[in-house]
Structure 1
Amino acid sequence: MKRYEKFADAIAELIRSGVLGPGQRVPSVRYASQTYGVSPSTVFQAYYLLERRGLIRARPRSGYFVNTHAPSPLAEPATSEPARDSTEVDVSELVFSVLDSIKDPNTVPFGSAFPSPLLFPLPRLARSLARAAREMDPRLVVTDMSPGNPQLRRQIALRYSVGGLVVPMEELLITNGALEALNLCLQAVTEPGDLVAIEAPAFYACLQVLERLKLKAVEIPVHPRDGIDLDALAQALARYPVKACWTMTSFQNPMGATLPPAKKQALVELLRSHQVPLIEDDVYAELYYGQHAPKPAKAFDTDGLVMHCGSFAKSLAPGYRVGWVAAGRYAQKVERLKLMTSLCPSMPAQAAIADYLQHGGYDRHLRRLRYALEEQQHAMLAAIARHFPAQTRVSQPTGGYFLWLELPEQTDSLKLFQLALAQGISLAPGPIFSATRRFRHCIRLNYGSPWTEASETAMQTLGRLVRSL
């Protein structure tokens, strides 16, 4: 074992034995270095390792603390099975019936698609909006409509470059949220009746887009940790005339899976060999836990086949509806499609986010947001372990704010949804995440809201309802 691993095990034993209890501060880097006779670098490496294990977490300017909630002992869900054939998509009525029923603000929002607005710096954003509106050059309101505010595009390009990815500004197009970017990308490379490879389970908005554009789905299994099954995708590409592949490569919704870097590279190479474009839905990219952001599949693209779609809706400003796409070789076609449809997003909203990225402390906000989400994840995992049947399986993603639960086989998640709603609790039932309405005994839960006594009570109620079914 390396020195930092030995030191990490020593601290872990103190936590397991109760010497360091939940919420207690672990020795500072300086104190640990002096007391244990190791270098500060060794202490940092050990603490990073303990963070990845879920035993401790850093607090800004305060040090490292023992996590309040231990990681869940429950097993992870099984990898989904491949679909036997391509299928027409017809899920909108089911999705709308679920979404319409969870709009009550008094409902515990485990079924929501967004984190709590309380986690976002909305007052600071409002100041950026006011300043941007005052200083906006009237001529730019017309000239910058497409491809979007140049300052915002420059800031996005800079964030790509920090991650080691060079994206030319002329490839970037600002859109009305990521959903418009994804719609435009799909329209750029398909015609009605075409086949699109998607994940199973997949985010229900993906299914609705396919349904609206009259496209057929080829469902590809997803591993709860490592993402889309490349062997199954290769078989589908050999069997079907697939025109595009739409996938979330990091913190996939609903499972939370993230493809390892080597697998992302293999995905890009596989699609390149078939000349199939990849539409990369990466809206949760900034919500990673730990020290390093995962690289997108776009980082391995040498042919311009990857269209990388992002958004500020999940990390900064949900109501501003500002997203973007780095569209590779399809940039001009995507831009022209946008000009033919919505023209441009709100110019003041674009200018406000550009101002905030430059002056508002975005990275500081993101660190706080990630810490909050990780702690809330631990709280929900611990509640599942306490209140749900022992046969329950649950994902443990390293980012985002969703958990995918595989409940005992006989559980009907649509019935559970109705029973929970009657108790003031929302959840997302499994069938809305499949073109073939599979995953009937699965649910997605959102831990993106601050954990309260009401959250704990709701989890206890859900566990009781699952047992009753």
Structure 2
Amino acid sequence: MKKDYLYNEIADNIANKINSGVLKAGEKLPSVRNLSAEHGISINTAKRIFLALEGRSLIRSKPQSGYFVSPPNYLQLPLATASQPIPIANNREPDQLMNKVYSTMGRRDLTLFSIGVPSGSLLPTAKLKKEIVLATQELSDGGTAYEPLQGNIKLRRMVAVRSLAWGGNLNEDEVVTTNGCMNALVLCLMALTKPGDTLALESPCYPGILQLAVSLGLKVLEIATDPITGIDIEALKNLLPEIKVCLLVPNFNTPLGYCMPDENKREIVSLLAKHHIPLIEDDTYGDLHFGTQRPKCCKSFDLDGNVLWCGSVSKTLAPGFRVGWVAPGKYKEQIIKLKLIHSLSSTAIINEAVGNFLLTGKYENHLRKLRRSLTENYQQYAAIIADHFPEDTKISRPQGGLALWVEFPKHIDTGKLYNYALKLQISISPGRIFTLQDQFHHCMRLCIGLPWSNELALKLKQLGKLAKALQ
């Protein structure tokens, strides 16, 4: 058991150094004999470590020369193309396909590449259970009473404190708690729009936001979006006269995973404020950065209270807890009034528990592990796509988040691929559900929030084989 632990520890340590860039492509690794001597392991164990790393495509051997760090083959894959939606607002939803995909949610017999949340095995479930017990004890009424209308004070305070990391400088009085981020978005859209108004979104866009907009009777104007820098600002400028509200996911948008540059965020905030167009910012994925630093938000550049910044722990800590919040700027009064009407109070025990989890530093410790897993997963997924998917397949270059966007050659229909994959117990998200327009039929989103395993690798390879068969 001890030998296996040491073997895994050494292998993971080398893998982490390669994935983080400490060990560069082409760099020579220690010899088998040197690795054995350095760690006090047998020659056979050292060989096993190198073979395992080679099997993960992280290193390669050169006869008579030793082992070297492999160039990441996923970087050789072409980048997914920028979207070019037609500049006409509409509200036609792909109901049948969307319902089919989301009906698989929670099914344990499927590999759910389709549902964009981290697997429970990547979450600190045991620690959260203890926090719930502690919250029950700490709340004077055991959590049976309503919270204050604005929400749990400890949670609001911690959200405000954490905003310092991205230049938000919020205080607890600027934050209103909600039942998850989608509830925050609902309140914002209800406060700012009426049926028939036009909402500007990135294209492609999270299906839940599209469904929400349609349900509220809004017209959706999809804006051209680059897979690296996000929404096309010039395209947005040209369409400003038609727009009532803009809703963006600038940090690690699903499905593309880009991080909008700070200068773009600043320009968009200024542009929309100048035209008196509110900006709803969905920052659900902001804590899931692959780099070393948490990115700024559009809210960081908000001088007029025109940005309604929304967030939650649904994609980072506990999807089922439904804990979210909004810093609504100058629209706070409208948001609180709508919360009173539609939900009144969040779940006191759960919000207290999450507030404590953030307060004690456990959240940040968990995030470090989760971000490392997601980064490695992205690289593992991309390596398999490079080796096993059809030629000319393109992918996004996510800088964080839970999604990888895959773009096949035009003749491969991911709606059909979905049906074939389901027979192999694999569920994907076809690209068509990320738009209200007739586009992205040859694309799909894969969730990278699943625990890596040989079985998961096999499922990805099967998916690539199916896609090739559709050619």
TM-score greater than 0.5 by the shorter chain: yes
Tell me: CA distance 1:362–1:66, structure 2 relative to 1, closer, same or farther (3 Å): farther
Pairing 1:101-120 to 2, within 5 Å after superposition: 101=104, 103-120=106-123
* 1:124 and 1:360 in contact (8 A); partners too: no
Distance 1:175 1:333 in 2: 14
Corresponding residue number in structure 1 for 2:307 = 306
Tell me: CA distance 1:278–1:106, structure 2 relative to 1, closer, same or farther (3 Å): same
- Given candidates 170, 175, 182, the residue that maps to 1:172 is 175
Distance 2:424 2:71 in 1: 28
The unaligned stretches of length 5 or more in structure 2 are 1-16, 36-57, 60-67
Corresponding residue number in structure 1 for 2:272 = 271
* 1:145 and 1:347 in contact (8 A); partners too: no
Corresponding residue number in structure 1 for 2:138 = 135
Corresponding residue number in structure 1 for 2:6 = none
Q: Quick one: which amino acid aligns to residue 450 of structure 1?
A: P
Distance 1:156 1:442 in 2: 36
Q: Quick one: which amino acid aligns to residue 329 of structure 2?
A: G
Pairing 1:451-466 to 2, within 5 Å after superposition: 451-466=452-467
Corresponding residue number in structure 1 for 2:419 = 418
Pairing 1:12-411 to 2, within 5 Å after superposition: 15-17=24-26, 19-20=28-29, 71-101=74-104, 103-138=106-141, 142=145, 144-238=147-241, 240=242, 242-359=243-360, 361-411=362-412
Distance 1:287 1:13 in 2: 21
Q: CA deviation at 1:276?
A: 0.4
Other structure's SS at 1:138 match: coil
Q: CA deviation at 1:68?
A: 10
Q: CA deviation at 1:90?
A: 2.4
* 1:250 and 1:296 in contact (8 A); partners too: yes
Q: CA deviation at 1:160?
A: 0.6
Q: Deviations over 1:442-466 (max 9, x none)?
A: 0001111111111111111111111
CA-atom RMSD, angstroms? Answer: 2.6
Distance 1:161 1:14 in 2: 32
TM-score where L is the length of structure 2:
0.85
Count of equivalent residues: 421
Q: CA deviation at 1:163?
A: 2.9
Deviates more, 1:378-387 or 1:77-86: 77-86
Other structure's SS at 1:185 match: helix
Q: CA deviation at 1:361?
A: 1.7
Tell me: CA distance 1:152–1:232, structure 2 relative to 1, closer, same or farther (3 Å): same
Distance 2:349 2:240 in 1: 43
Tell me: CA distance 1:333–1:141, structure 2 relative to 1, closer, same or farther (3 Å): farther
Q: CA deviation at 1:164?
A: 2.7
Distance 1:139 1:463 in 2: 52
* 1:194 and 1:215 in contact (8 A); partners too: yes
Q: CA deviation at 1:134?
A: 1.2
Q: CA deviation at 1:395?
A: 0.5
Corresponding residue number in structure 2 for 1:33 = none
Distance 2:276 2:153 in 1: 31
Distance 1:210 1:257 in 2: 23
* 2:25 and 2:72 in contact (8 A); partners too: no
* 1:377 and 1:447 in contact (8 A); partners too: yes
Q: CA deviation at 1:259?
A: 0.5
Deviates more, 1:260-269 or 1:159-168: 159-168
TM-score where L is the length of structure 1:
0.85
Corresponding residue number in structure 2 for 1:62 = none
The unaligned stretches of length 5 or more in structure 1 are 1-7, 27-54, 57-64
Other structure's SS at 2:112 match: coil
Other structure's SS at 1:16 match: coil
Q: Quick one: which amino acid aligns to residue 206 of structure 2?
A: F
Tell me: CA distance 1:143–1:419, structure 2 relative to 1, closer, same or farther (3 Å): closer
Other structure's SS at 1:123 match: helix
Distance 1:317 1:68 in 2: 36
Other structure's SS at 1:467 match: helix
Distance 1:268 1:173 in 2: 21
Tell me: CA distance 1:84–1:356, structure 2 relative to 1, closer, same or farther (3 Å): closer
